[in-house]
Amino acid sequence: MIDERAIDEALRQVEQLRAEALQAISAAENTSRLEEARIRFTGKKSVLTAVMQIMPRLRSNDERKTLGAAVNAAKVEIETALEDRRLQLGRRELEARLEAERVDVTLPGTPVQRGYQHPTLQTMRELIDIFRQMGYAVVEGPEVEWDLYNFQLLNFPPDHPARDLQDTFYVTDDMLLRTQTSPAQIRVMREQRPPIRVIVPGLVYRDEAEDATHLSEFFQIEGLAVDTNITLADLKGTLTEVVQRFFGRERGVRFRPHYFPFTEPSAEIDISCFACGGAGCRSCGGEGWLELGGAGMVHPIVLENGGVDPEVYSGFAFGLGPDRFTMMRGNITDLRLLRHGDVRFLEQFN
């Protein structure tokens, strides 16, 4: 049934919705309220669209056109108002956010925790500095080494029993993870003529069951001095100086005869015990001394293997363990603590 007054009623509704919409838009206090108004008044299911459902009840095309035009005009007006309000609110919200998030550059910053060197690397640095002051150059060698350089040229023939003390991890039958940084001795002697004074810091490997005093991966500083008239006294003087500079002048240093295939004569270097000062206690197993490393006069065969004439030149070599130095100076009872990466333990030495 056609309602004669339907068009008037519909136009009145459009006008009312238009007024309500404009009122809601200008009252919207933030963009989410504004979005609610947009959906309510102009969305697909909005009240304004609902007015169009009256169309079939209108009497003529003219009336339909009139209503359609009124609805569209209202929509355009509402959308314009929405857009204006959106820009206005957006600016206001941006300003509010900028104000709220403003950085006060005068406030104290968040403290940054600074890192520090591992205690063993601190030891390495100190020892390297001491040797540098004594005229030693630093050289490095490969961690994966030929059996030839790691053993044979250093006077460990293939079936030599001393190899048992330095079992390691083999890459192939003739290539291995170096057991010492000593292979650099041969490389250096083949590359430069005496006088030679070098130290070789680096990681070395042993096929070792780890315990409180043994690691399968540890640091070593190898040293080599080759010149005319180098004697055992030079060796003793050099290492005593290094050890006392590192640990203190009050420390006693002792050289104890030992055997190494690549030096002759050979010695182990001991330092007087920190706990008892040499009298003997539990820390030193009653000995009064603690072992620091090995040393000796370079074996003539090794000099020859390096292309140096043993009739003209002599030299000394030594191997020191920075992990062990760290352990002794820091009063650490178990070497493995240095490798466990527990920061609570490590930061004590910072």
For Zn ion, the closer of residues 274 and 349 by Cβ is 274
For Zn ion, the closer of residues 212 and 275 by Cβ is 275
In angstroms, what CA-CA distances link 53 with 45, 47, 85, 154?
A: 11, 10, 29, 102
Please report how many Cα atoms fall inside a 13 Å half-sphere around the Cα of residue 336, on the Cβ side: 7
Residue nearest to Zn ion (CB): 273
For Zn ion, the closer of residues 133 and 213 by Cβ is 213
Contact 120, 338 (CB under 8 A): yes
Minimum Å distance from CB 151 to Zn ion?
Answer: 35
For Zn ion, the closer of residues 165 and 275 by Cβ is 275
Pairing of strands 314-320, 217-227: antiparallel
For Zn ion, the closer of residues 47 and 276 by Cβ is 276
Beta bridge partners, 63, equal none
Structural Rg of the chain based on CA atoms: 43
For Zn ion, the binding residues (CB under 5 A) are 273, 275-276, 281, 283-284
Return the beta strands (E) in 113-233 as ranges: 137-138, 144-146, 170-172, 175-177, 196-205, 217-227
For Zn ion, the closer of residues 10 and 243 by Cβ is 243
- Picking from 344, 330, 342, 332, the residue whose alpha carbon sits closest to that of residue 122 is 330
Minimum Å distance from CB 271 to Zn ion?
Answer: 11
Minimum Å distance from CB 328 to Zn ion?
Answer: 11
Indicate the length of the chain as a whole number: 350
Minimum Å distance from CB 273 to Zn ion?
Answer: 3
Peptide bond into 265 cis (omega under 30): yes
Minimum Å distance from CB 190 to Zn ion?
Answer: 43
Minimum Å distance from CB 290 to Zn ion?
Answer: 8
Beta bridge partners, 219, equal 203
For the stretch 38-50, what's the b/e string if a residue is b when 16 or more beta carbons lie within 10 angstroms of its beta carbon? bebbbeeebbbee
Minimum Å distance from CB 284 to Zn ion?
Answer: 3
Q: How far apart, in whole angstroms, are the C-alpha atoms of residue 248 and residue 3?
A: 113
Alpha helices in 101-182 (DSSP H): 119-133, 147-150
For Zn ion, the closer of residues 278 and 310 by Cβ is 278
For Zn ion, the closer of residues 122 and 283 by Cβ is 283
Minimum Å distance from CB 320 to Zn ion?
Answer: 20
Minimum Å distance from CB 288 to Zn ion?
Answer: 6
**Exposed, middle or buried, 113 (CB in 10 Å: 0-12/13-18/19+)?**
exposed
For Zn ion, the closer of residues 43 and 285 by Cβ is 285
